[in-house]
């Protein structure tokens, strides 16, 4: 069974020869390729070549075409600073001082903004280079709620949710349009699956999540799947136990969950409805642990969540930059040895 079939069958809750491995690697791959972050986050060919080189070194099943989460905010007016040795950072949210949607560029103008073609071009190049030799999972930046926080500021948006609900809903509508557009362009560029994160939504209460985040995540998933027919992955960092069922109800084919979540509980609650991706501790296990610890923790996860398909082994979030190569190799070996 090759990597592409292995990943697809896992997503569809079918038996595989072993558990697939799909780590999220950005900073470590950039360092491995001896690139500056500025080039990685602006040059689509360099981005794809960097990810391909990392995949070839470690031989996991799925590469992740991704960079920072400031592409959509930049297109809607957030100024972004680029650094040689750090990921880009957004500054000066355009709505920080005024709840005025007219301060944002039009959606049509945003669609052609500076980096909106970065991920589609990188995805297209990766597919042309790799074909179906591995599972290509391409990111389309972030979910509508997280994009709202980037445009307004997270503290201001939290206050708006209780002081001016209609403004928040109107802003979410605008953000949803651009999120779907980028997802469409990435999805038609040759990805085998799409992924997006809405991690800021994990910080709010279940009640607020249901009102402000869930309907728009569901809208994004349904629009992309109906148009493209591709699996959709949803990533939310941190503790998600209060919204797990809502995340599954979006219709996402796979949930990428952080190490704070007990996969025995998660498997029981939503594992029959969606594929689970995760969730080794990126720091204590992957960065600071030994290869034997990586193997042991991986084996425990496979035992807990890997039977009957519906599970992809990965750290719970991005692999830290200085993670030892031996630990990434141990992650891949564990899937082969313990499945």
pLDDT of 238: 92
Burial of 171 (0-12, 13-18, 19+ CB in 10 A): buried
pLDDT of 100: 96
Contacts of 113 (CB under 8 A, 6+ apart): 74, 75, 76, 105
Of 62, 21, 67, 63, nearest to 43 by C-alpha is 67
- Three-class secondary structure of residue 21 per DSSP: strand
Fold of 3-338: TIM Barrel (3.20.20)
Joined together, the tokens standing for residue 104 give: 């944002």
pLDDT of 75: 98
Render pLDDT for 148-204 as a digit per residue (tens, 0 to 9): 999 999 999 999 999 999 999 999 999 999 999 999 999 999 999 999 999 999 999
Q: How far is CA 175 from CA 100, 163, 261, 339, in A?
A: 14, 20, 28, 41
- Is 90 exceeded by the pLDDT of residue 306? no
Distance CA 18, CA 16 (A): 5
- Is 90 exceeded by the pLDDT of residue 339? no
Cα of first residue to Cα of last residue in the chain, in angstroms, is 14
pTM to 2 decimal places: 0.95
Render pLDDT for 81-130 as a digit per residue (tens, 0 to 9): 999 999 999 998 999 999 999 999 999 999 999 899 999 999 999 999 99
What is the arithmetic mean of pLDDT over 138-147?
Answer: 97
Percent of residues, the chain, with pLDDT higher than 70: 100
Indicate the pLDDT class of residue 307, thresholds 50, 70 and 90. Answer: confident
Q: Per-domain residue ranges for the chain?
A: 3-338
- How many Cβ atoms from other residues are within 10 Å of residue 43's Cβ? 17
Distance CA 323, CA 289 (A): 9
User: Is-contact 338 298, C-beta < 8 A?
Assistant: yes
Distance CA 67, CA 271 (A): 28
What value does the mean pLDDT of the chain take? 96
- Is 90 exceeded by the pLDDT of residue 309? no
Distance CA 18, CA 309 (A): 9
Q: How many C-alpha atoms does 261 have within 13 Å on its Cβ side? A: 30
User: Is-contact 240 202, C-beta < 8 A?
Assistant: yes
Distance CA 149, CA 337 (A): 43
User: Is-contact 336 18, C-beta < 8 A?
Assistant: yes
């Amino acid at each position: 069974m090759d990597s592409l079939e292995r990943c697809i069958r896992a997503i569809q809750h079918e038996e595989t020869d072993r558990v697939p491995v799909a780590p999220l690697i950005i900073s470590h791959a950039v360092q491995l390729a001896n690139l500056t972050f500025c080039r990685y986050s602006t040059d689509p060919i360099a981005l794809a070549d960097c990810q391909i080189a990392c995949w070839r070194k470690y031989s996991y099943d799925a590469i992740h075409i991704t960079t920072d989460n400031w592409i959509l905010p930049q297109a809607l007016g957030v100024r972004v600073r680029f650094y040689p040795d750090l990921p880009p950072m957004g500054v000066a949210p355009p709505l920080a001082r005024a709840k005025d949607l007219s301060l944002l560029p039009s959606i049509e103008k945003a669609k052609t903004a500076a980096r909106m073609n970065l991920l589609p071009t990188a995805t297209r190049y990766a597919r042309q280079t790799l074909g179906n030799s591995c599972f290509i999972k391409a990111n389309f930046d972030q979910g509508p709620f997280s994009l709202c926080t980037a445009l307004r500021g997270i503290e201001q948006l939290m206050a708006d949710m209780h002081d001016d609900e209609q403004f928040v809903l109107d802003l979410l509508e605008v953000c949803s349009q651009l999120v779907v557009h980028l997802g469409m362009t990435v999805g038609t560029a040759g990805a085998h699956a799409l992924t997006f994160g809405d991690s800021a939504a994990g910080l709010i209460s279940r009640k607020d999540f249901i009102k402000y985040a869930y309907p728009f995540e569901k809208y994004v998933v349904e629009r992309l799947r109906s148009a493209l027919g591709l699996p959709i992955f949803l990533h939310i960092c941190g503790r998600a136990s209060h919204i797990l069922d809502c995340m599954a109800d979006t219709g996402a084919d796979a949930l990428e969950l952080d190490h704070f979540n007990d996969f025995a509980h998660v498997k029981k609650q939503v594992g029959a409805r969606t594929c689970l991706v995760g969730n080794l501790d990126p720091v204590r296990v992957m960065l600071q642990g030994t290869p034997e610890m990586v193997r042991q923790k991986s084996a425990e996860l496979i035992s807990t969540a890997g039977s009957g398909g519906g599970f992809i082994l990965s750290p719970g979030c991005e692999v830290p930059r200085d993670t030892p190569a031996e630990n990434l190799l141990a992650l891949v070996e564990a899937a082969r040895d313990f499945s």
